[in-house]
A and B are shown apart, each in its own frame.
Chain A
Amino acid sequence: MNYGEYDIIRPEDIATVEKEMKVLRVSLEEPRKPAEKGLDYSSFINGLLNNPNSTKQDRERIVELLLKERDKGFVTKEQVEQMILEFKGDGGGTIKYGSKHFHDPKRMIGFLYQFSKNDSYKWFTHAPDATNQDFDYEAYVENAKRGFQAIAKGINQYTWNNVYNFIFDTKDAAKDSFNNDIKIRWKDLKVWCMEHRFMHPYYELVDDYTFERYITIFKNTIEFRTDDNNMIFANRIEDFMYDFAIKSSDISLEFLDSFYSIGGSLRVYIDVRQLFTAFVEIGKWIVSNKSKSNKVEFSLDEAEDRYVFSIFHKGSFMNIDDEKLKGLSGDFHKIRNILLNVADWTIEADVKDSSLHIVCLDSQTEYNLNDRKKATVSSANKLEAAQQKIGGVKHIITLYKNIQS
């Protein structure tokens, strides 16, 4: 996995930051362009601000120094202000280690939305038009890399890695919705872009297909879209359930009318790969419990700011012990981590002699962030007695629209 240069900053860098900055200031009498090759100071400073080992005092000292550096050409005024804003603001681009974190899929939505609305990222996924006839790959990538940490704040690390791997030059492959490698990514067009300065490679033939094909695969990995009927939510989920998640001929799958009607217009930004991975795990549970019931029903509801997708294993029941019900070990914990910061998840189930609502992921679910590579759900499932018998085991997945509530 590759997170960028700031990962290699050592703790002692913090203690010597003042000295480092003085040296740099002396060496930079003339203002320099921020994207100039080899001088990615904003990335360096971001690394210092976000180093897991730096203390609050260290960070405050860095901010103090940054304020002094403004207008001196060390970094641009805008960059300094942006970094300070992110550091001081509402969590901003700064990930706070060791403190409480709460499951929040809307951060992921805000991040993925950048590929539609933010000119600094949208041309990674859009066909060129009259407004970007001068596409400069090097400058575009450098600029995107500089802002990446700020826009990717608080998202699932798998989403972070996958997007990073598709748009930047890393050693790891980017994955599609099915967790297969995306054969061609932006780094593979680097040479072409260098040879064709100011041209966008969207329509460039890269193997038997144009690059557009691989960009589209990526777009379908970060969004359920409605512009291609083959790829609408209803069709993708139906195929995925039959062909991958619940691939068992003796289980009957029924998709209700609501699934098709609402699933034809559902449009959300989401890490589809994570969602599909969770469906595979849920599918395994269903298949391993098929002796209890062989009927699974799928439905979909819509509210002002969300969609609620249900996978109902009718007539089944849960017979797991109280410890496992907490969701802090085994498959339960695994799925919670997969869907962390991606989607809410609740199970309604008949359990032994009662029925329960098991809230696995909601806005009160806490997780630990040991370092940038590992976020782990740390709070137990919330258990609530159901008012009436469920009639099976129902997995309820909430997908949020891109609406601020």
Chain B
Amino acid sequence: MIYLFEDREERKRQFLGGEFNHSLIQHKPFDCADSKEMVDYIKSNYRDAAAVLLHKSYEFGNKGITIDSVKNGFQNALNIPVVLFSGGSNSNLIREGETITAEINSGVMYRNLTCFLDDYQTNGEVCIPLLVYGKNYRLNQLLEMQAKIYSYVFDRKENDEITQTDKRHILKISRAVTDNGLIDDISKLQNWIEERLTNNNPITVLLLLNQIQNLINKYQ
């Protein structure tokens, strides 16, 4: 079961085009009375939760309860992803240990919610990247990485060599790809960059971009 904690009903209806019902989602208030008993409260009330979608500004009845404490509570009680959403947020996948979670823009989340739930129904596992990037979530993550790296080397010539500082920025961009299904390929790309530069084997801008395109071709 996916639990949606949204206290802006009007917004929800606006994004979902009216009332929204799906057998795998529950809209339920979070009304834990005592933050010290939160883990037990969660175990009693949300035992079947596979993921939680939590409005970042959710108004809890108990003033001592915060988004961080609820997030910790679900992770400690059930070890499940807690996705934060907000109208003021961008969207980003986050790796917390072995768990993939996200902070996501409300509009993006509601747009992808149906296909996320359908996928969960079909496969029996939650796929948080789908909630952020939509159906072609792996390809979309790689295209986003490619766009950022293109942007970074935009004013370079094809034969320019990647420097150590460039390497730092390119690895930083590549680390944003946290999807479990892409980790191996991203690690290979990172290791290839590291090893070549460590061995004084230059990487030109053109070579780097070709390498990234080859990776993308695999998922197209």
- The residues of A with any CB-CB pair to B shorter than 8 Å are 113, 116-117, 122, 125-131, 219, 225-229, 232, 234-235, 238-239, 242, 260-261, 264-265, 267, 304, 401-404
Closest B residue to A269 using CB positions = B68
Query: How many Å from the CB of B91 to the closest CB on chain A?
Result: 7
B68 pairs with A264, CB closer than 8 A: no
State whether A265 and B94 are in contact (beta carbons under 8 Å apart), knowing that A129-B11, A235-B172, A403-B68 are contacts in the complex: yes
Q: A126-B57, A227-B103, A401-B72 are in contact. List 11 more A-B contacts (CB 8 A).
A: A117-B59, A126-B86, A128-B87, A129-B106, A130-B14, A226-B94, A227-B90, A227-B105, A264-B175, A402-B69, A403-B68
B8 pairs with A117, CB closer than 8 A: no
Q: Bound complex: CA of A131 vs CA of B57, how far in Å?
A: 13
A-chain residues with CB within 8 Å of residue B88 when the two chains form the complex? 125-127, 219
A131 pairs with B172, CB closer than 8 A: no
* Interface check B92, CB cutoff 8 A: yes
Closest A residue to B10 using CB positions = A130
* Interface check B138, CB cutoff 8 A: no
Tell me the dominant secondary structure on chain A's binding face.
loop
State whether A403 and B103 are in contact (beta carbons under 8 Å apart), knowing that A229-B176, A264-B95, A265-B94 are contacts in the complex: no
* Interface check B191, CB cutoff 8 A: no
- The residues of B with any CB-CB pair to A shorter than 8 Å are 8, 10-11, 14, 35, 56-57, 59, 64, 66-69, 72, 84, 86-92, 94-97, 101, 103-106, 165, 168, 172-173, 175-176, 178
A228 pairs with B87, CB closer than 8 A: no
Q: Bound complex: CA of A117 vs CA of B70, how far in Å?
A: 14
Query: How many Å from the CB of B154 to the closest CB on chain A?
Result: 16
Tell me the dominant secondary structure on chain B's binding face.
mixed
Closest A residue to B58 using CB positions = A117
B172 pairs with A238, CB closer than 8 A: yes
A261 pairs with B95, CB closer than 8 A: yes
Q: Bound complex: CA of A397 vs CA of B126, how far in Å?
A: 36
7 contacts between A and B (CB under 8 A): A116-B56, A127-B87, A227-B89, A238-B172, A264-B175, A402-B69, A403-B66
Closest A residue to B70 using CB positions = A403
State whether A264 and B94 are in contact (beta carbons under 8 Å apart), knowing that A131-B8, A403-B66 are contacts in the complex: yes
State whether A304 and B92 are in contact (beta carbons under 8 Å apart), knowing that A131-B8, A227-B103, A235-B172 are contacts in the complex: no
B66 pairs with A113, CB closer than 8 A: yes
Closest A residue to B99 using CB positions = A265
A-chain residues with CB within 8 Å of residue B178 when the two chains form the complex? 264
Q: Bound complex: CA of A228 vs CA of B96, how far in Å?
A: 16
State whether A122 and B57 are in contact (beta carbons under 8 Å apart), knowing that A227-B104, A265-B95, A403-B68 are contacts in the complex: yes
Q: Bound complex: CA of A124 vs CA of B62, how far in Å?
A: 24
Q: Bound complex: CA of A131 vs CA of B10, how far in Å?
A: 7
A-chain residues with CB within 8 Å of residue B66 when the two chains form the complex? 113, 402-404
A265 interface neighbour in B14, B96, B172, Cβ under 8 Å = B96
Closest B residue to A262 using CB positions = B96
Listed residue (B11, B67, B84, B88) with the most chain A CB atoms within 10 angstroms of its CB: B88
